[in-house]
Structure 1
Amino acid sequence: MSIPPNAPLSDAMQRDGFCFVTADIMQPLLQSAGTLSDWTRFAESWNRLGPDPYLAAKGRFRRRRHATFSADAHGALALAPHQPHFQALQYNTLQGDIERWFEPIEASIADGDSLRTILAFCNGLFSSLAPAVAQWHVEVHQFRIEASADAAGEPTPEGSHRDGVDFVLVLLVDRHNIASGTTTIHTPDGKPLGDFTLTHPFDAALIHDPRVFHGVTAVTPLVAGEAAHRDVLVVTFRAR
């Protein structure tokens, strides 16, 4: 997908380093890049995420799967062999400088229409913002944050942070019985720049990672004693 340089998302990203997009805008933008015909099956795959053993070792809990792709500015996209997720300690003080192996995203989801459409959209937008980049290293993360009456869920246990990449998409897939979970954007010295709560499926945050820090407030159940979760897809693009 080719996004014109004067598109509102491009303008906001270039001006502010981030952009919040509501579902009524984001879903049509995605559909302009491809089909979302398997969205129901895509969303249901969050019910089969495995626990994050590295975070459990720190006394916290979340579920996730991970996949890596390669992409180029001409739109080519390929699933890469399964590999670890790595962040330098300067970007992740909680779990940095270690190779973290997570269960792979299920093959039918990684090759499904919804994920390929999301990646095509990201490739078009991010390549238009960084025209000098010919090749991208792309990582895809499925996250489920669960909350209970006696344990709030932490979408970003490392706090306000950068990911050490070029661009980030955070896309809400599902939200059930959850209060809060507000995405916050800050300058490197901590000045608030904006906040937005991903409430509906397809609500999204787009982030130019070198320019701003981002975080998400803890989530709690609206109704105590009932299952509560926040499901998001995080896609990162880093220049090769």
Structure 2
Amino acid sequence: MHNLAELPASPLLNEMRLDGFAFAPADTMRPLLASSGGLSDWSDFAESWNQLAPDQYLAAKGRARRRRHATFSAAAHGVVTTEPHQPHFQSLQYNALQGDIERWFEPITEAVVHGETLRSILDFCHAFFGSLAPTVARWHIEVHQFRIEATASAAGEPTPEGSHRDGVDYVLVLLVNRRNIASGTTTIHAPDGRLLGDFTLTHPLDAALIHDPSVFHGVTPVLPLVADEPAFRDVLVVTFRAAPAADR
């Protein structure tokens, strides 16, 4: 695992400890990910968002969201390991729209799972979040590819559940691409609703890092800039949660 104190992550670690969140622009994230392995397959990685499957759990509500999902695990001083495909589950406490149900999404493709870019992202998260929580023995890790689509008649809703927590320990939201959209501003709130910060992920590799128990987060709806052209926001979301003792 990298010594993050020697990398540009050190100020981010301090922000996370102090504020519970940090915004990392692409110029900061790129060398961090490069030091974790590299981004040689970035073009194929980004292109894979064109093969995401519709989110059937939101279809009835008319919100256009496409996604794929994968699960991993890692011991504190071990490597990140792929786990068998499994459902995504959140309690109603954390997701009032779709809580307390097992949601099965199409798996992230093998090419993406084993590609250099995703492995670099996961290795960075492992080192970064592990530095913030050195007593965690093993991590349960989930990865989500999201595409939020917008049309002239319907805004795209990156977080249809509103300002929320995910019920994990740490979250990375990494922008992969955005096309023909306005807004999509990430907002960070205190548990009492006070706005603590906001920023818009605009360039590929712009990232939000969040300590989920400390703050709530949300994203404002996206609207097309040109009404009759495709409009979407592509992000990768990675969550780290301390694994229950029974899973270690």
State the TM-score, normalizing by the size of structure 1: 0.98
Report the secondary structure of 2:196's partner residue.
Answer: strand
Q: CA deviation at 1:59?
A: 3.0
C-alpha distance in structure 2 between counterparts of 1:25 and 1:167, whole Å = 19
C-alpha distance in structure 2 between counterparts of 1:69 and 1:57, whole Å = 30
Find 1:112's aligned residue among 112, 115, 121. Answer: 115
Amino acid at match of 1:14: R
Amino acid at match of 2:74: A
User: Is the CA contact 2:69–2:142 (under 8 Å) kept in the aligned structure 1?
Assistant: yes
Match of 1:33 in 2: 36
C-alpha distance in structure 2 between counterparts of 1:56 and 1:14, whole Å = 38
1:225-236 to structure 2, matched below 5 A, reads 225-236=228-239
C-alpha distance in structure 2 between counterparts of 1:66 and 1:57, whole Å = 20
1:33-52 to structure 2, matched below 5 A, reads 33-52=36-55
- Higher mean alpha-carbon deviation, 14-23 vs 71-80, is at 71-80
Amino acid at match of 2:137: A
List structure 1 runs of 4+ shifted beyond 3 angstroms. none
Match of 2:5 in 1: 4
Report the secondary structure of 2:97's partner residue.
Answer: coil
Match of 1:129 in 2: 132
Report the secondary structure of 1:46's partner residue.
Answer: helix
Match of 1:138 in 2: 141
C-alpha distance in structure 2 between counterparts of 1:141 and 1:129, whole Å = 22
Where does structure 1 lack aligned partners over 5 or more consecutive residues?
none
User: Is the CA contact 1:64–1:142 (under 8 Å) kept in the aligned structure 2?
Assistant: yes
Report the secondary structure of 1:137's partner residue.
Answer: strand
Find 2:77's aligned residue among 66, 74, 77. Answer: 74
Report the secondary structure of 1:71's partner residue.
Answer: strand
1:156-167 to structure 2, matched below 5 A, reads 156-167=159-170
C-alpha distance in structure 1 between counterparts of 2:205 and 2:31, whole Å = 10
Match of 2:246 in 1: none
Question: Percent identity of the aligned residues?
Answer: 73
Pair 1:121–1:75, CA change in 2 (3 A)? farther
Amino acid at match of 2:126: N
Where does structure 2 lack aligned partners over 5 or more consecutive residues?
244-248
Match of 2:151 in 1: 148
Amino acid at match of 1:62: R
C-alpha distance in structure 2 between counterparts of 1:61 and 1:99, whole Å = 20
Q: CA deviation at 1:71?
A: 1.0
